[in-house]
């Protein structure tokens, strides 16, 4: 092991570590489209939501109107303070701002029968920066590792 080689390897590790970290914390440009107010009507039945996937932009103000077709159902979004319950004849509304980007599951929050635990939908808040950051960080780490081991041989 000669000294400069070791220095070089340390530099490679340091650079890829710094870049990986940067991929996670680097500030990003603001969202291109202006936030808008949206109303989404979801109907719940045993044991599914219709629609089961909501695509929204970060910063949008979302009003969810939940209607139940058979028994009491709820809608609670992971990562957001949203939890409403509706039954036939008693719909429920909730308004929140989609200020966290990423994919969030929403689930039924009141026992509605045998398959209740599987009553799940998804809120997709774009742009999905956490996902993109993770991809970039993985690529940087992979490239750094390849260069690192290339130098060793």
Q: Are 141 and 113 in contact (CB under 8 A)?
A: no
The interface region with another protein, picked from 23-31, 49-57, 66-74, 136-144 by CB under 8 A, is 66-74
With CB under 8 A as the rule, give the number of residues binding another protein. Answer: 18
Residue 50 or 99: the one with the smaller Cβ distance to another protein is 50
The interface region with another protein, picked from 54-62, 97-105, 111-119, 134-142 by CB under 8 A, is 111-119
Least Å distance, CB 71 to another protein, is 5
Beta bridge partners of 95: 63
Least Å distance, CB 117 to another protein, is 12
Torsion over CA: 126, 119, 46, 98 (sign) = negative
Q: Counting contacts by CB under 8 A, is residue 83 touching another protein?
A: no
The radius of gyration computed from the CA coordinates of the chain, to the nearest angstrom, equals 23
3-state secondary structure of 25: helix
Among 92, 110, 120, 147, binds another protein (CB under 8 A): 110
Residues 6+ positions from 54 with CB-CB distance below 8 Å: 40, 42, 62, 121, 122, 123, 124
Binding residues vs another protein (CB under 8 A):
43, 46, 67-72, 87-91, 110-114
């Amino acid at each position: 092991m000669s000294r400069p080689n070791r220095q070089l390897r340390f530099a490679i590790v340091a650079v890829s570590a710094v870049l990986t970290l940067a991929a996670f914390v680097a500030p990003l440009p603001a969202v291109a489209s202006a936030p808008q107010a949206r109303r989404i009507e979801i109907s719940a039945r045993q044991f599914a939501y219709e629609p089961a996937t909501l695509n929204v932009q970060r910063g949008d103000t979302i009003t969810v109107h939940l209607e139940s077709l058979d028994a009491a159902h709820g809608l609670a979004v992971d990562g957001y303070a949203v939890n409403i319950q509706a039954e036939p004849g008693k719909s429920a509304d909730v308004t929140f701002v989609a200020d966290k980007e990423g994919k969030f599951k929403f689930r039924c929050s009141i026992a509605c029968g045998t398959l209740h635990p599987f009553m799940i939908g998804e809120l997709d808040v774009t742009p999905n920066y956490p996902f993109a950051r993770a991809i970039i960080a993985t690529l940087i780490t992979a490239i750094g590792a390849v260069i690192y081991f290339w130098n060793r041989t």
